[in-house]
Amino acid sequence: MVLGASGTTAGTGAVDIARLGGLWRVTRPWHPGLRPHLRSYVGYWEAVPTPYEARLVPTGCATLLISLAEPFTQLRRLGMRDEGSGSIGSLVVGLEDRPAICTHPGGQEAIRVEFTPLGAYRLFGMPMSELTNLAVEIRDVLGPGAGELVERMAATRDWAARFDLLDAALLDRLGLGPDPTAEVDQAWQLLSGSAGAIPIARIAAEVGWSQGYLIRRFTQQIGLTPKASARVLRFRRAVTLLGRGTASLTEISTACGFYDQAHLNREFRAIAGTTPGRMVAARRVEGAVALTRSANSSKTASAGPVASRLVRPMAGRMARGTVRPAGPRGAGWRAPRPRATAAVLAGSTRRPELIGSGPRAPLRPGGLSPRASLRQGALGPRSPLRQGGPGPRAPSAKVDTPRPGPTTPAYDETVRSSDSSTRRVHSPYRASRGLTSNHSPTR
């Protein structure tokens, strides 16, 4: 089927063919003129043609894909309002900071080349900001000659000859492309060398530009802002450490500059649309992560288990009364009592009047709120002073108990008001003994 097996020399060296999973991969040493601008250069074809759907994750590089067989059915960027690319063959992808879903009918055969951002700027000869998060047909970027090149490469079955044709075309384009600004080149080297850990203000001070001017020029030639580029670089370093399997998520979070493991998980969801654990466990295809479900169901499936893990603890806290149930909070809204909340969620019908279904809980007869009703049941009826509204605390009954005599009654009724004045109630015993209010005999 394929010529140019391992050991065949052409151009810059031997072509090596090896099987990796369900793919046959073809590589050879990079041309010296291309080496400074490349990050990956590999050909591949499927061992067994099988329809697949894969998630493309940001790599921090621009990609050139030469399709030599069946085109993609669709390529759709997640988080963007577009209907997808439709059927697309050879394409150019700018720098990305969010995932994409690609669908292929099977039988793929292609060459995939990844360029540094500034290498792509020279190769494509256009502002890289115009390609950010986009997948564009190759003819729209490299001109009509690119289509003819793809046809010639597809017509030959020798992988060495295919690499020779592509190398020559890329060297011609690089010789005619614009040179990047030295300050942008220095800024990118500082940022990529630290894996996104160096502050943007420090980079601006190093290159001698203001931060605003650096952001404008950097975005034009790189395709992402310095901050977005730093996020992608930290993500790529975390992916590399995850692939080694020698460090925990907490150690990776610290090494890559994330605040904590929760920050690491949020960044993975935002940039790759998945979690670190799922990304490690997923089957890899060339430059992507294979999905087992369709694009629509994959988003639901990725969110479903997480949502269930979040809902169950929340329901438990609501049952324990530590979280108020959501609902309208207009004027007069009162939070339900914890005990009543637990009873209602548990299906109990005890004290149902404590929980309201609207902005305000229902009132008991007499205009009392649920909290006042509980207080009334515990402390007895309110005094006349407080039935109509707030006011001074009602007098409380207290007992004055003198030392009993041989025939002394058990107690003597005395009523004390809140201002400490005492009103004596008639007692036959006190009248016969001549006792005064201070419990001493009358002299």
User: Can you give the residue ranges of every domain in the chain?
Assistant: 9-176, 182-273
Q: d(Cα 214, Cα 200) in Å, to the nearest integer? A: 9
Comparing 8-17, 100-109, 292-301, which segment has the lowest mean pLDDT? 292-301
Determine which helix (DSSP H) or strand (DSSP E) holds 293, and give its type and residue range.
Answer: none
Report how far residue 68's alpha carbon sits from residue 70's, in angstroms, rounded to the nearest whole number.
Answer: 7
Give the bridge partners for 7, in sequence order: none
> What is the number of helices (H) and of strands (E) in the chain?
16, 16
The owner of tokens 């759709």 is 76
pLDDT at residue 233, as a whole number: 96
Least confident of 123-132, 234-243, 352-361, 417-426: 352-361
| Dihedral sign, Cα of residue 340, residue 342, residue 345, residue 346 | negative
The tens digit of pLDDT for each residue in 347-403 reads 444 444 434 444 444 444 455 555 555 555 544 554 444 445 555 555 555 555 555
Could you tell me if 42 and 26 are in contact, meaning their C-beta atoms sit under 8 angstroms apart? yes
Residue 266 vs residue 11, higher pLDDT: 266
* pLDDT of res. 405: 52
Looking at residue 414, its pLDDT comes to: 46
Could you report the per-residue pLDDT of 240-292, keeping only the tens digit for each? Answer: 999 888 889 999 999 999 999 999 999 999 999 989 988 888 766 666 666 64
Give the model's pLDDT for residue 319. Answer: 40
Portion of the chain with pLDDT greater than 90, in percent:
49
Angstrom distance (rounded) from CA 88 to CA 434:
114
In Å, how far from its chain's centre is CA 218?
26
Residues 85, 98 contacting (CB under 8 angstroms): no
**Residue 148 — pLDDT band, cuts 50, 70, 90?**
very high
pLDDT of residue 118: 96
Say if CB 114 and CB 206 are below 8 A apart: no
Among 9-23, 48-62, 152-166, the least confident range = 9-23
- Mean pLDDT estimate for the chain: 74
Averaged pLDDT, 99-117: 93
Whole-number pLDDT of residue 373: 52
Please report where in the chains the tokens 């500082």 appear, as a residue: 190
The per-residue b/e assignment along 275-292, b for 16 or more CB within 10 angstroms, e otherwise, is bbeebeebeebbbbbebe
Which CATH class for the 182-273 domain? mainly alpha
Q: In whole angstroms, what separates CA 193 from the centre of its chain?
A: 26
Question: What's the pLDDT tens digit per position in 171-218?
Answer: 999 988 899 999 999 999 999 999 999 999 999 999 999 999 999 999
Most confidently predicted of 50-59, 204-213, 240-249, 299-308 = 204-213
Please report which residue ranges of 97-199 form alpha helices under DSSP H: 117-124, 138-142, 144-155, 159-176, 182-193
Cα(211)–Cα(189) distance, integer angstroms:
17
Give pLDDT, residue 265: 94
Q: Are 388 and 379 in contact (CB under 8 A)?
A: no
318: pLDDT strictly greater than 50:
no
Rounded to an integer, the average pLDDT of 84-90 is 82
Instruction: Output DSSP code: residue 21.
Output: T
pLDDT of 306 > 90? The answer is no
What distance, in Å, lies between the first and last C-alpha atoms of the chain?
A: 133
- Token reading at 378: 């515990």
Vertex 123 angle, CA 120 and 126, to 5°: 80
Cα atoms in the Cβ-side hemisphere of radius 13 Å centred on 295: 19
The residues pairing with 320 across neighbouring beta strands, listed in sequence order, are: none
The CATH class, in words, for 9-176 is mainly beta
> Which whole-number Å values give the CA distances from 37 to 34, 63, 220, 263, 270, in the listed order?
6, 12, 18, 32, 28
Distance from C-alpha of 227 to C-alpha of 232, rounded to nearest angstrom: 9
